[in-house]
Amino acid sequence: MRRFLLQSFLYSLIFLLFVSCKTYKLADAKSVSTSEKIVENLYFSSNEDYVYKCQMDIYKNHVSGILIIKKLNDAIHRVVLTSDFGNKLIDFEISGENFKLNYVLADLDKKIVINFLKNDFQQLLKQKYPVNETFENEKSKIYLSKLDKKQYYLFFNKENGLLNQIIYTKNNKEKIDFTFEAKKHIFADSLNLQHKDFKINIKLFQITETE
């Protein structure tokens, strides 16, 4: 059954890579002035382990396991995904520029899978964003950060100041929607990662909480 799910996962990825994604436009927001030059995603900035129940929906297939994220230093995180029974599926170290694969299950050792995980976690674990423009709507203050052909829209709740969404775009096309639920700046209680160019959805739910 596990082999079937992994094979279906690979075939679905290859097929859905050809699905086009929509041009992203920020709606119902007005431009505002700000003195802030940098904003940060601090949800994975603690040195404590971040442990989540992980659920992946790939096309019509569902895979679940335990995801552990550990900050090794200011630049590098280690990410380990295990099955619900504790069997290691993949183990890698990642920064904004580098990716080191420590272990991968043979069935997952495919270039398309590794690249998919590398890209997603580089975006998720990115901490500092230079501010190019600032907007606001009724509920959020929104910062636009531009890096080469990539753009990030970071939505901070006006009431509590917490980051609740990041929209990642490339060439003006929406790629990934990261939505967070949190009670503190350094720890997200849950995360919903939704791809826009193919049907991949990853959900994380806290198991342990940092102090």
Q: What is the pLDDT of residue 11?
A: 53
CB 192 within 8 A of CB 203: yes
Is 20-206 a CATH 2.50.20 domain? yes
Q: What is the pLDDT of residue 65?
A: 94
pTM of the model: 0.85
The Cα–Cα gap between 119 and 175 comes to 11
Q: What is the pLDDT of residue 18?
A: 44
In degrees, rounded to 5, the angle at the alpha carbon of residue 200 between the alpha carbons of residues 111 and 84 is: 80
Which of the 8 DSSP states describes residue 162? -
**Tens digit of each residue's pLDDT (9 = 90 or more) over 106-139:** 887 888 878 888 999 999 999 999 999 999 999 9
Q: What is the pLDDT of residue 211?
A: 47
Residues 6+ away with beta carbon under 8 Å from 201: 56, 57, 192, 193, 194, 195
**Tens digit of each residue's pLDDT (9 = 90 or more) over 129-184:** 999 999 999 999 999 999 888 999 999 999 999 999 999 999 889 999 999 999 99
Please report, for residues 127, 149, 153, 192, the alpha-carbon distance to residue 55 in angstroms, rounded to integers and kept in the order given. Answer: 24, 30, 25, 10
Q: What is the pLDDT of residue 59?
A: 65
Please report, for residues 97, 161, 187, the alpha-carbon distance to residue 77 in angstroms, rounded to integers and kept in the order given. Answer: 12, 25, 15
The full length of the chain comes to 211
